Structure 1
Amino acid sequence: MTDISPSTPSRGWWRRNQQRFAPWLFLAPGIAMFLVYVIIPIFQSMSLSLYDWDGLGEKTYIGLDNYRELFDDEAFYTSLKNNVIWLVLYLLAIPAGLFVALFLNQNVTGIRLYKSLFFFPFVISQVVVGLVFSWFYDPSYGLLNIILQGFGLEPIPVLADERYATYGIIAAGLWPQTAYCMILYLTGLNAVDPEQIEAARLDGAKGWRMLWYVVLPQLRPATFIAMVVTIIGALRSFDLISIMTDGGPWGSTRVLAFYMYEQAFSEYGFRMGYGAAIAVVLFAIMMVYISAFLWKMYRDERGR
């Protein structure tokens, strides 16, 4: 006799649709956390940027006054200029990571030791990186100035000179960032099709031609991730600046993320609305760069 119980139709519907809905059930916790901790705070920051608020008292709606003040703020332009410098120079981590990965992808004596040495910066804290480079740059006993004195040159107080301080911090940041890009490219090189490599060799391709026309096109996914992560890392740089210079000398090494912290959370500020306005500008800049790169990747994929 046919089972016509009320539960039968629902069981039949789930059996027909479980392959479609099962992935969403697994993704649901992650999507919920992303909404709660990323998407909603973005809109809250946009809303907060329209208020004058010290974080404790009542909010006062002031419209776009925070943005008007921001674009007349000299410290904001200094921070924005430093972010551009960070962005341009930080991208050096991508080709550096690629060439290190190409070297480590070979079978040579001691390659495991080399991999460990190059991987080491990635696993240590940014705070430790900042301290190490602060000692390295020290004008009295730092290794850099010991080397300079060995060549008969005068010591350079890198972190105390506004001409060099930003570049010294960026150099410190490039050390672990290059290691991260190296890991991405090593993973990508393991997926390179050996048949295409062999076919290119038979056609006479080698060296730069092999890298440009055969290897790099297969490393596009790794390049995409490396580009996005490096751009985000450059635009949200904070910890190294806080550890190495605390924004000095005379505010010359501030970036937007650090200036936002100063205005919103430090004893000099407690201006939550103004800090939120800086965060919104930083988010907009980040989205412009990432969207442009995504659009380029999309066009490249369509053109293939």
Structure 2
Amino acid sequence: MSSTVPATSGYWKRNQQRLAPWLFLAPGMIMFTIYVIIPIFESIWISFYDWDGLGAKTWIGVANYVELLDDEAFYTSLQNNILWLVLYLLAVPAGLAVALFLNQTVTGIRLYKSLFFFPFVISQVVVGLIFTWFYAPDFGLLSALIKAVSGQDIAILADERYVTLGIIAAGLWPQIAYCMILYLTGLNNINPEQVEAARMDGAKGWSLLWNIVLPQLGPATFIAIVVTVIGALRSFDLVSIMTDGGPYGSSRVLSFYMYEQALSEYGYRMGYGAAIAVVLFMIMMVFITLFIVRMLMQERNA
């Protein structure tokens, strides 16, 4: 026993700097493995079964994925997700524009910051309810403005042409605030000497922003794009609160359709829902991988 303790103590002293980071990372890595990595592989495995979540599983191979190819509701959900992805990315330049405005020293800037920060701290459920009232055809402010201008009543959340656009607009409100916070943090870390040197060389306006400011905001831009893409692809809560997938399933997205098939009274088809989840996961991984590869290439070139 007396020889074991010094040996262990000596090993720790020799490898302390190498082992200490892994000890700090271990709790997070264990939790990430249990709650993220393992469920991903379990979802892939379940997608090959016909299962109601309670009874015995029946192996059906790729039948769930074959069924997806002929599922009109799946293609509607996929199309809506693409629309979400394209329009949701508007939050990144909009957040940058707001951050550039709030980064100035003007009278009342703290009040402006509080107003723009407010959407970020409220839940998506509250955002959905606010915009549901905002769009309401009988007392909503937007509907009243549309009627005053055009003389027509438009029920945005009941019209298949506008419902997805209306939900996306609701989601952009807090997402712009989130991107704004990222860019404000990045602007506070910009090297003032480079900015001053560029101004002495005559750079100003768009030239200063494009050549000096934006390159230093690269990390903030990367995080903003990744988070925005993930938010667009998992847009479940606003759809559920504002329309419940309606009217006639026209506002469904993949995450909501997965829920309908796997966990709602309309489905209880865990295998089919898992197949939808796997497709959504693969789409998300493609975009995130592209962004990571591009970021690594830019760092190497720099």
Match of 1:37 in 2: 35
Correspondence list, 1:209-248, <5 A: 209-248=207-246
Q: Name the aligned partner's letter for residue 75 of structure 2.
A: Y
The percent of aligned pairs where both chains have the same amino acid is 73
2:81 matched to which residue of 1? 83
* Residue of structure 1 equivalent to 2:49: 51
Q: Kindly provide the CA deviation profile for residues 229-280 of structure 1, in whole angstroms up to 9, marking residues without a partner as x.
A: 0000000000000011100111000000000000000100000000000000
For 2:220, what is the secondary structure of its paired residue? helix
CA distance in 1, matches of 2:120, 2:6: 55
State which of 157, 161, 164 in structure 2 corresponds to 1:163: 161
Match of 1:149 among 147, 150, 159: 147
List gaps (5 residues or longer) in structure 1.
Answer: none
Query: Structure 2 matches for 1:161-200, cutoff 5 A?
Result: 161-200=159-198
TM-score (norm 1): 0.98
Give secondary structure in 1 for the equivalent of 2:175: helix
Once the two structures are superposed, residues 20-57 of structure 1 have per-residue CA deviations (whole angstroms, 9 ceiling, x without a partner) of 11111011000000000000000000000000000111
Q: CA deviation at 1:151?
A: 2.5
Match for residue 291 of structure 1? 289
Q: Which residue of 2 aligns with 1:104?
A: 102
**Secondary structure, counterpart of 2:293 in structure 1:** helix
Go from structure 1 to structure 2 and tell me whether the alpha carbon gap of 1:76 and 1:202 turns closer, same or farther (over 3 Å shift): same
Residue number in structure 1 paired with 2:111: 113
Tell me the CA shift for residue 152 of structure 1: 4.4
Q: Which residue of 2 aligns with 1:267?
A: 265
Which position in structure 1 is the counterpart of 2:91? 93
RMSD of aligned alpha carbons: 0.9
Which amino acid letter does the alignment assign opposite residue 222 of structure 1? A
Superposed CA offset, 1:63-115 (max 9, x none): 00000001110100000000000000000000000010000011100000000
Q: Distance in 1 between matches of 2:299 and 2:182?
A: 20
* Displacement of 1:6: 3.6
Count of residues in correspondence between the two structures: 301
**TM-score of the superposed pair, with normalisation by structure 2:** 0.98
3-state SS of paired residue (2:199): helix
